[in-house]
Amino acid sequence: MSADQIQYSEKYFDAIYEYRHVILPPELTKLVPKCHLMSETEWRNLGVQQSPGWVHYMIHAPEPHVILFRRPRTDIPETANNTNSNSNSSMTVNSRAEQSATQSNQMNANNDVSVHG
Considering Cα of 35, then 40, then 41, then 44, what sign does the dihedral take?
Answer: positive
pLDDT band at residue 37 using 50, 70 and 90 as cut-offs: very high
Measured distance CA(104)–CA(117) in Å, rounded:
20
Domains of the chain: 3-72 (3.30.170.10)
Return the pLDDT at 80. 54
The predicted model gives 15-41 an average pLDDT of: 96
Q: Is the pTM of this model over 0.75?
A: no
